[in-house]
Amino acid sequence: MKIAVLIARILLGLEFLIFGLNGFFHFLPMPPTPGAAGEYLGVLFTAHMLVLPFLLQTVGGLLLLVNRFVPLALILLGPVLVKILEFHILLAPAGLPMALITLLLWLVIFFGVRRAFSGVFAAKTEV
């Protein structure tokens, strides 16, 4: 299990670090997205609404790669992953397989560090 978590952590860290940095430096050519998905991305990009998600991807990916604060990285990347899944389910289904693989990697890492989240899933807590 440790090897699976290690592989998932490295793959997910690389994926989010590369695509997060690409949001700032545009070193990967991205073809224009057709239809409503392209319009949606165009509005988000023009309004600078993608700066925070790109920053979260970069920081989360870097934390995963250096194996420091992995639960924090999962918390930072969780909402970004939800929006990626929502985008591909509703607007651009062609990218859904990659989004699902990303979700699987996130879940493998989460399962590996689930003890760090034990307090979050407590039904009752003492004050």
**For the chain, which residues make up each domain, given as ranges?**
2-26+34-114
Which residue has tokens 């879940």?
107
The model's pLDDT over 43-91, given as tens digits with 9 standing for 90+, comes to 999 999 999 999 999 999 999 999 999 999 999 999 999 999 999 999 9
Average pLDDT, the chain: 96
Q: Exposure pattern of 36-58 as b/e (b: 16+ CB <10 Å)?
A: ebeeebeeeeeeeeeeebbebbb
CA distances from 125 to 36, 120, 121 (A): 45, 10, 10
Measure CA 122 to chain center: 25
For residue 123, name the pLDDT band (cuts at 50, 70, 90).
confident
Alpha-carbon span 29 to 16, nearest angstrom: 16
Measure CA 93 to chain center: 17
Alpha-carbon span 5 to 107, nearest angstrom: 9
Alpha-carbon span 96 to 98, nearest angstrom: 5
